[in-house]
Amino acid sequence: MIVATPLKITQALAGSRIDRTIESRFTLMRPDPPPRGSPRASGIRFSRMLLPLLLGLPLVLLAGGVYAVVASRRPESGRRIHGAALAVCLLLLALALGYLLARDSPLELALPLGLPWLGMHFRLDALSAFFLIVVNLGGAITSLFALGYGQHERAPERVLPFFPTFLAGMNWVVLADDAFSFLFAWEFMSLGSWALVMAHHQEPANARAGYLYLVMAFFGTLALLLAFGLLAGPAGGYDFAAMRAAQITPGRSALVLVLALLGAGSKAGLVPLHVWLPLAHPAAPSHVSALMSGVMTKVAVYGFIRIVFDLLGEPVLWWWGGVVLAAGGVTAVLGVLYALMQHDLKRLLAYHTVENIGIIFIGLGLALAFQANLLYFNAALALSAALFHVLNHSLFKSLLFLGSGAVLTATGERDMERLGGLIHRMPQTALAFLVGSAAISALPPLNGFVSEWMTFQAILNSPELPQWLLKFLVPAVGALLALSAALAATCFVKAFGITFLGRPRSPAAAQARETDRYSLAAMFVLAGLCLLAGILPGLVVDGLAPVVALLNGGARLVDQYNQPWLTLVPVGALKSSYNGLLVMLFMALAAFAAALLIHRFASAVARRGPAWDCGFPDASPATQYTAGSFAQPIRRVFGTLVFQARERVTMPPPGDQRAARLDVELHDPVWERAYAPIAAAVIALSTRFNYLQYLTIRHYLSLVFGALVVLLLGMALWR
Partner 1 sequence: MHGLEFDIAHFLAGGMVVVSFLLLYQDRVYTLLNTFALHSLVLALAVGWQAYIQEAHHLYVTAGIALLFKAIVIPMALRRIVRQLGIHRTLEVVGGVGRDMLAGTALVALAIMVMLPVTAGADALAREDLAFALAVLLLGLLLMVNRHNAISLVIGFMSLENGLVLAAAGARGMPLAVEISVAFSVLIALIVIGVFLFRIRERFDSVDMQAMDTFREGRRK
Which residues bind to partner 1, rule: CB under 8 A?
694, 696-698, 701-702, 704-705, 708-709, 712-713, 715-716, 719
Least distance CB 709 / partner 1 (angstroms): 7
Q: In this complex, which beta carbon is closest to partner 1, that of residue 651 or of residue 701? A: 701
Comparing CB distances to partner 1, the nearer of 155 and 708 is: 708
Task: Report the run of H or E that residue 646 belongs to, with start and end.
Answer: strand 646-650
C-beta of 679 vs 692, nearer to partner 1 = 692
Is the CB of 59 or the CB of 709 nearer to partner 1?
Answer: 709
CB 520 within 8 A of CB 427: no
* Closest CB 695 distance from partner 1, rounded Å: 9
Question: For partner 1, which is the closer residue by CB, 629 or 702?
Answer: 702
Strand partners, 646: 665
In the bound complex, what is the minimum distance in angstroms from residue 687's beta carbon to partner 1?
15
Give the C-alpha separation, 249 to 315, whole Å.
10
Question: What is the smallest separation between the CB atom of 715 and partner 1, expressed in angstroms?
Answer: 5
Give min distance, CB of 234 to partner 1, in A: 23
Q: Which residue, 117 or 718, is less far from partner 1 as judged by CB? A: 718
DSSP 3-state assignment of 235? coil
Distance CA 291, CA 527 (A): 16
Least separation in angstroms between residue 329's CB and partner 1 is 54
Q: Which is nearest to 432 in space by CA: 402, 387, 468, 391?
A: 402
Residue 402 vs residues 76, 405, 447, 522: alpha-carbon distances, Å: 22, 5, 18, 8
Q: Is the CB of 468 or the CB of 694 nearer to partner 1?
A: 694
Alpha carbon distance 246, 124 (integer Å): 21
- Shortest reach from residue 707's CB to partner 1, in Å: 11
Q: Which is nearer to partner 1, 671 or 705 (CB)?
A: 705
Beta pairing, strands 120-124 & 568-572: unpaired
Q: How far is the CB of 236 from partner 1 (least distance, A)?
A: 25
Are residues 229 and 180 in contact, defined by beta-carbon separation less than 8 angstroms?
no
In the bound complex, what is the minimum distance in angstroms from residue 682's beta carbon to partner 1? 23
CA atoms of 623 and 503, how far apart (whole Å): 10
In the complex, minimum distance from the CB of residue 698 to partner 1, in angstroms, rounded to a whole number:
6
Least distance from C-beta 693 to partner 1, angstroms?
Answer: 9
Q: How many residues does the chain have?
A: 719
Nearest CA to 416 among 363, 325, 362, 339? 339
Closer residue to partner 1 (CB): 673 or 699: 699
- Burial readout 364-394 (b: 16 or more C-beta within 10 A, e: otherwise): bbbbbbbbbbebbbbbbbbbbbbbbbbbbbb
| Least spacing, CB of residue 670 vs partner 1, in Å | 40
From CA 467, how far away is CA 710, in angstroms rounded?
A: 53
Decide if 481 contacts 452 (C-beta within 8 A).
yes
Q: How many CB atoms lie within 10 A of CB 652?
A: 11
Nearer to partner 1, 659 or 715 (CB): 715
Q: Compare residues 235 and 716 and give the one whose CB is closer to partner 1.
A: 716
* CA-angle at 297, arms to 490 and 679, nearest 5°: 90
Cα-Cα-Cα-Cα dihedral sign, residues 438, 444, 449, 450: negative
Q: What are phi and psi of 110, to 5 degrees?
A: -120, 130
DSSP string for 395-412: HHHHHHHHHHHHHHHHHS
Identity at 206, one-letter amino acid code: N
Minimum distance from CB of 686 to partner 1 (Å)?
Answer: 17
Q: Nearer to partner 1 by C-beta: 463 or 714?
A: 714
Q: Which is nearer to partner 1, 685 or 713 (CB)?
A: 713
Residues in a beta bridge with 578:
568
**In the complex with partner 1, which residue's Cβ is closer, 70 or 704?**
704
Of 236 and 706, the one with the shorter C-beta distance to partner 1 is 706
Complex with partner 1: residue 601 or 718, whichever CB lies closer: 718
510 exposure class (CB count in 10 Å sphere: 0-12, 13-18, 19+): middle
Give the chain's largest Cα–Cα span.
Answer: 104
The closest of 262, 263, 154, 147 to 199, measured between CA atoms, is: 154
Rounded (10°) angle between helices 345-372 and 447-460: 30
- In whole angstroms, the minimum distance from the beta carbon of 116 to partner 1 comes to 23
Shortest separation between residue 699's beta carbon and partner 1, angstroms: 9
Alpha-carbon gap, residue 20 to 436, rounded angstroms: 51
Q: How far is the CB of 688 from partner 1 (least distance, A)?
A: 17
Residues pairing with 661 in the sheet: 650
Stretch (H or E) spanning 208? helix 204-232
CB of 278 closer than 8 Å to CB of 354 = yes
Query: Would you say 344 and 209 are in contact if contact means Cβ atoms under 8 Å apart?
Result: no
Cis peptide preceding 466, ω within 30 of 0: no
